[in-house]
A and B are shown apart, each in its own frame.
Chain A
Amino acid sequence: MTTATRGTSAEGTATDLPRLLPASQQPQDWPAHHARHGPIPYRGAPGRLIPDLRDAGLTGRGGAAFPVHRKLAAVLDAATSRRKTPVVIANGAESEPASDKDATLLWLAPHLVLDGLQLAAEAAGADQAILYTHAERREDVGKRLRQALMQRRAAGVERVPVELAEAPPRFLSGQETAVINHIGGGHAIPTFMPPRVTERGLEGAPTLVQNVETLAHLALIARRGPRWFRQVGTAAEPGSTLCTIRRADRTPRVTEVPLGMPLRDLLGPLPQDGAVLIGGYHGSWVPAGQAVRLTLDNQSLGTAGARVGAGIVITLPPASCGLAETARTVRYLALESAGQCGPCLNGLPRIAAALVELAGARPRRQARADVERWAGLVTGRGACHHPDGTARFVRSALITFAAELDRHERGRCSGTSRQPFLPVPRGQARTEEDWT
């Protein structure tokens, strides 16, 4: 289910949201897409789109919010200095189980993403483009994309050939170096940087990996320009972003909102002692009383130790115990470690086990101290950010649910429902096949 949210610009005028998703909520085929957005505004040479992307202030919508123009310029520089033709990869793996925005975007507006992929390929001077996604989540996205590509070939609008690649259903399969490993024929697990993939990525070529939503924004900036893009959002963090909102009814709601939107307006009334999870399973729990004073941008969320990430905002239902939910999710995250780096391999299972104790009745006082120490010990010590993100999530839980921890030490729990709330795939043991 998706909903459109009207945004308001600094001047107070109503704006044109949703920009990416069709207002009709109906999947857009090529004729419908073309009627709404017009032809693909190719620029005729590499690099020409970069100043527009810089002026627009577009940042990656996959979670890291890295400036798109800088990544593109890095790929272009590497291509020139190393005389190697770059590759562009659209990342729609969305391996975060709580997120549904990329799958929704690909389902409803595949052509906008594919336009962005073509324009990014042109801007980088690439001769190869790959769209990396899960074939099926709630809908048969793979089939939709194959149809979309056939329509585009028939219409003769593609300049760079596009291949589809399938992401394994694992948490880390969307991590940038894991994407490249997997497309290159290896396991979908991270490698240690440097070199950066913009320098040396797929088969050694300078590689641009951009989230699919980022490419959809890029396709619109190319058409309407940076000033249009900045009509919503904040001066520091312009534009709109797709969000996945989850509440007690468990049905994810994907909505496109301006950055800087008050969480109060996004979430509606919150329970007094409630909590909100912002940024997904590598994100942060924030007490409801604090969340209602924040806006959806990194400047504001940063004051609460949170980040927009991939736009996941989850309200914990009053019946659920935040500690139990955290423990169950961290168990999943520990099982999803690629197991390559010592601190992650050793630390995450220990943190997960201690959290199970804290989520139960009368945990030892030592368990809380252990979790805090291990969270510090794993941070910054992996090849990827999986230990860092998991530690951030865990620490925010210890702070946000401090009163609940005290209750558990006295043998009580404020949760009344034992039904799991946060979506977590069944724990899977690691085997070689899982990563291929």
Chain B
Amino acid sequence: MSERLVVNPIDCAGHGACAELLPEMITLDEWGYPIIDGRPIPPALDKDARAAVSACPTLALRLLRS
């Protein structure tokens, strides 16, 4: 089973912690909001993805099983 990253754009306040912890899959737009690579998370990045999810101060970032 693969997992993908999903952000709730209403909860997201643009803290940017996720992009620091997972730059391979998350970049910030010019206003500081995350642009998420919605493809399945490669196993090598699994740990960093979980760290990014845990670090979100507004709990806006989630892992979605697909």
Contacts and interface: CB of A to CB of B under 8 A. Distances in A.
Interface string A374-417: 00010001110000000000000000000000000000000000
Nearest to A342: B33
Interface in A309-342: 340-342
A344 to B, nearest CB: 8
A191 interface: yes
A63 interface: no
B13 to A, nearest CB: 8
A180 B8 CA distance: 19
A382 B13 CA distance: 13
Contact of A192 (B10, B14, B30, B35): B10
B9 A192 contact: yes
Contact of B12 (A191, A341, A346, A347): A341
B30 A342 contact: no
A225 interface: no
A191 B9 contact: no
A341 B29 contact: no
Interface string A151-194: 00000000000000000000000000000000000000001100
B11 interface: yes
A334 to B, nearest CB: 14
A266 to B, nearest CB: 37
Contact of B31 (A191, A340, A346): A346
A343 B29 contact: yes
Contacts of B14: 342
A226 to B, nearest CB: 35
B42 interface: no
B9 A340 contact: yes
Interface string A67-94: 0000000000000000000000000000
Contacts of B31: 342-343, 346-347
A344 B33 CA distance: 11
A399 B4 CA distance: 35
B18 to A, nearest CB: 13
B23 interface: no
B40 interface: no
Given A340-B10, A341-B9, A343-B9, A377 B32 contact: no
Contacts of B29: 343, 377
B27 to A, nearest CB: 11
A432 to B, nearest CB: 16
Interface string A51-78: 0000000000000000000000000000
Interface string B1-43: 0000000111111100000000000000111110100000000
Interface of B: 8-14, 29-33, 35
Interface of A: 191-192, 340-344, 346-347, 377, 381-383
Q: Which 4 A-B pairs have the closest CB atoms?
A: A341-B9, A342-B33, A346-B31, A340-B10
Given A341-B9, A341-B10, 6 more contacts: A340-B10, A342-B12, A342-B32, A382-B9, A383-B8, A383-B10
11 contacts: A192-B9, A192-B11, A340-B9, A340-B10, A341-B9, A342-B31, A343-B33, A344-B9, A377-B35, A382-B9, A383-B8
